[in-house]
Amino acid sequence: MGKCLIVGGTGMLAHAVRSLNAQGHHTTVIARDTDKLNSLRSACPYPDRFNGISLDYEDYDLLKQRVKNEQLDQDGYDLVIAWIQSNESHALQTILNELVAAPVRIFHVLGSRSDLSAVQSSLKLSHNHTYHQVQLGFVIENDSSRWHTNEEISDGVLKAIESGDEDEVTLVGTLEPRDMNPWLKTK
């Protein structure tokens, strides 16, 4: 059984959290809203293996302290999934600096417009970290494009985790043709 930390796990990654919990992994989720954390705990097959940490991950001092303390109980995390909206955030680096287990597999979920190389080079990884990026593209359907559903996103992340450590980058869906990116419809 693994010990997983899922950052931003109450939204589109909630299904992935439930699946990991159902597989018997201990799941720790970071998000702000305690109601959403409590609902997710209730939806997990093994609520006693669910730990919700309610905080704003942009409060780096608090984030550092909580990750440090929680790990004392868990003996470290061996899997980290991070969905952090801003590429400018230092939240993931703050967490990486505190990880005590070795090795740790890290799956960094990124949006369709993220510059993957720039994101990776902005992170300081230790030799104990195996770092993967899961980029969320979009779906082409009936000559039109749409974003993925939450379940499709969670399944894409789970597949990346299951496929082992060979692929450094997993694309969920497609990024082509670029002029069909649903983001352009919102501009």
Ligand X SMILES: NC(=O)c1ccc[n+]([C@@H]2O[C@H](COP(=O)([O-])OP(=O)(O)OC[C@H]3O[C@@H](n4cnc5c(N)ncnc54)[C@H](OP(=O)(O)O)[C@@H]3O)[C@@H](O)[C@H]2O)c1
Of 132, 124, 138, 143, whose CA–CA distance to 182 is shortest?
A: 138
With CB atoms as reference, the residue minimizing the distance to ligand X is: 11
Q: How far is the CB of 46 from ligand X (least distance, A)?
A: 20
Contact between residue 75 and residue 69 where contact means Cβ atoms under 8 Å apart: no
Q: How far apart are CA 7 and CA 37, in angstroms?
A: 12
Binding site for ligand X (CB under 6 A): 8-13, 30-33, 36, 56-58, 83, 85, 111-112, 136-138, 147-148, 150, 153
Nearer to ligand X, 57 or 131 (CB): 57
Q: How far is the CB of 103 from ligand X (least distance, A)?
A: 25
Strand partners, 105: 79, 130
Q: How far is the CB of 43 from ligand X (least distance, A)?
A: 14
Nearer to ligand X, 13 or 99 (CB): 13
Q: How far apart are CA 95 and CA 121, in angstroms?
A: 16
